[in-house]
Chain A
């Protein structure tokens, strides 16, 4: 039992899960039992896939040892491209594919500039963050186009599904993508390459791992997931605003770190990133439920986020320090 507990505490995503449960319990009590109310839960689960999809991409890229600060801007660029094309008379699917293709181009550019010019991805993607945001304004002419929702198969993305219509279809997208990327990371050679590339690059290169292609693929996956998440949000909210996704890049990095992803690469898990994103949404939502004064709101969110990371680190440390009996031989 003690051995199991030690193993569990050492797993960063499990420590984050424990913290998430603790937070849910705290807010449930603090809000007088309405935090887990049907409508509120439905609201959280509606927003979560959008944040979590971005977090999955960023987590994968961080495991490969790189950052992407342009995800917030790509989050806006992709649906804006789709909306502009649809207003120009394109049907949904071609516009959708071109929008995702634009994300592929951004991902390739991020990767190519980072790898071939050997500059930190922090800088490359910071530049791309501004460029992609500007492109969003340029393609829309500054005024958000109006989407004709009769031409959009909303049911595939944002319609309510599942028991009691608790989830949106976007949640199924999240589950499917999380499983695919999770399997990719844990069950395939590509996953091993990603961890090796992010863990110790010279060794990975010496072993013949195509590290450049691995990183490039991670940049592209990260961008495409951010773009898909942006499209889902626009289909949910109905407005392709150029300001969508601002600040999401930092939230995604926070989610990955809270979920146990190492800032220096090589370590992390997809489920950890998702739990991190959930924790951020729960804190934000729970603070409103707890009727925190508006002027203290950001302080409280920040303090709880730090608490979450510190708590996570502490639990892992306790797990490592925990002594267990070894089997007698």
Chain B
């Protein structure tokens, strides 16, 4: 046993010493602009992981949020540098196939993080996906919020698709509507309806649009956002003197303004995908692959349902950039 332990330590040390001579070179290309708060937690995880391994790392954002062509260009540039690993979010099912294949052919480890091809591993040559399953996450969100909805009578629900056409947003919305469709089928005696709108990715715009919708449809019981922008809706409801809980709000990702609206009672349920982990874990997987030859493996970073009673503890982690 002792010998085995010594052998493992020796293996890791030899790996570390190899790394000390030639640090790992890892590039992380994402589909977001640097100003998206969510990605700062991913970057922190990525950089912390790299610091621990003394790896040479670079996070590359796009100038235009969601621009697939910019992201592909960034990946091309990264491949030309021949890094040890390429981490990337796969927000399109076809656009990244070729560039990922060429990276793999060049011996570069490719791991998807945050968003994956809809076909998963069959969609392209990436070796693993570390992130949230968006459809199940949407489903979990709706399921968790369902417990807060009136048990009887008609229900009308609004689903805000933050970025129509983008995998992450469409799939989360699909998860929500899948659950709602099930409830419609399971409750034939109740009139349960839902509607989808293009809600936007700017707090002021989302507040205005959803506010307008609520004026036109005062019978709305709940609003689901595929991002965190429903925090602005909480503000709108407070301004209108609507009591917390009258229109239920839920969405994804933990950012300070959502946590504050949860404390105020306007947001009841939030799904956390632990972005720090999405930055940190791929780096560790690259390390293990390079040093001891372990194959990168999928990690579900969670569909953790966060409720208002958990906010104080999360705010501490949020202040440290960990959640």
Given contacts A142-B40, A233-B204, contact A295 B198 (CB under 8 A): yes
**A281 touching B208, Cβ below 8 Å:** yes
Q: Which of B36, B235, B236 contacts A243 (CB 8 A)?
A: B36
Q: How distant is the Cα of A285 from the Cα of B208 in the complex, in angstroms?
A: 7
Q: Which of A37, A247, A295 contacts B202 (CB 8 A)?
A: A247
**B215 touching A241, Cβ below 8 Å:** no
**A285 touching B257, Cβ below 8 Å:** no
**B257 touching A144, Cβ below 8 Å:** yes
The residues of A that contact B321 with a CB separation of less than 8 Å are 142-143
Q: How distant is the Cα of A144 from the Cα of B228 in the complex, in angstroms?
A: 14
Segment 197-236 of B: residues with Cβ below 8 Å from A: 197-199, 201-205, 207-216, 231-232, 235-236
Q: Range of interface residues on chain A? A: 35 or more
Given contacts A47-B204, A142-B37, contact A297 B256 (CB under 8 A): no
Tell me whether A31 is interfacial, beta carbon within 8 Å. Answer: yes
A242 to chain B, nearest CB (A): 4
The residues of A that contact B34 with a CB separation of less than 8 Å are 133-134, 137, 142, 242
**B164 touching A294, Cβ below 8 Å:** yes
Q: Which of B37, B40, B195 contacts A291 (CB 8 A)?
A: B195
**A294 touching B215, Cβ below 8 Å:** no
Interface on chain B toward A: helix, strand, loop, or mixed SS? helix
Q: How distant is the Cα of A206 from the Cα of B196 in the complex, in angstroms?
A: 59
The residues of B that contact A291 with a CB separation of less than 8 Å are 195, 216
**A238 touching B196, Cβ below 8 Å:** no
Q: How distant is the Cα of A43 from the Cα of B209 in the complex, in angstroms?
A: 9
Interface size on B, residues (CB 8 A): 46
A12 to chain B, nearest CB (A): 26
Tell me whether A8 is interfacial, beta carbon within 8 Å. Answer: no
**B209 touching A288, Cβ below 8 Å:** yes
The residues of B that contact A294 with a CB separation of less than 8 Å are 161, 164, 196-199
Closest residue on chain B to residue A241 by CB atoms: B37
**B65 touching A246, Cβ below 8 Å:** yes
Closest residue on chain A to residue B215 by CB atoms: A40
**A50 touching B65, Cβ below 8 Å:** no
Q: Which of B203, B215, B255 contacts A289 (CB 8 A)?
A: B215
Q: Contact mask B43-57 → A, CB, 8 Å, 1/0?
A: 110000000000000
The residues of A that contact B235 with a CB separation of less than 8 Å are 236-238
B112 to chain A, nearest CB (A): 22
Given contacts A142-B34, A142-B37, A144-B257, contact A297 B212 (CB under 8 A): no
The residues of B that contact A220 with a CB separation of less than 8 Å are none
Q: How distant is the Cα of A293 from the Cα of B36 in the complex, in angstroms?
A: 26
- 19 further A-B contacts with Cβ under 8 Å, apart from A34-B215, A143-B37, A233-B204, are A39-B214, A39-B240, A40-B215, A43-B236, A47-B204, A47-B207, A133-B34, A133-B35, A137-B34, A142-B39, A143-B256, A143-B321, A237-B207, A242-B35, A243-B35, A246-B33, A288-B212, A291-B195, A297-B164
The residues of B that contact A50 with a CB separation of less than 8 Å are 204
Q: Contact mask A223-250 → B, CB, 8 Å, 1/0?
A: 0000000000100111101111011000
Given contacts A144-B257, A239-B257, A284-B209, contact A136 B35 (CB under 8 A): yes
Given contacts A31-B216, A40-B211, A246-B65, contact A288 B197 (CB under 8 A): yes
Closest residue on chain A to residue B39 by CB atoms: A142
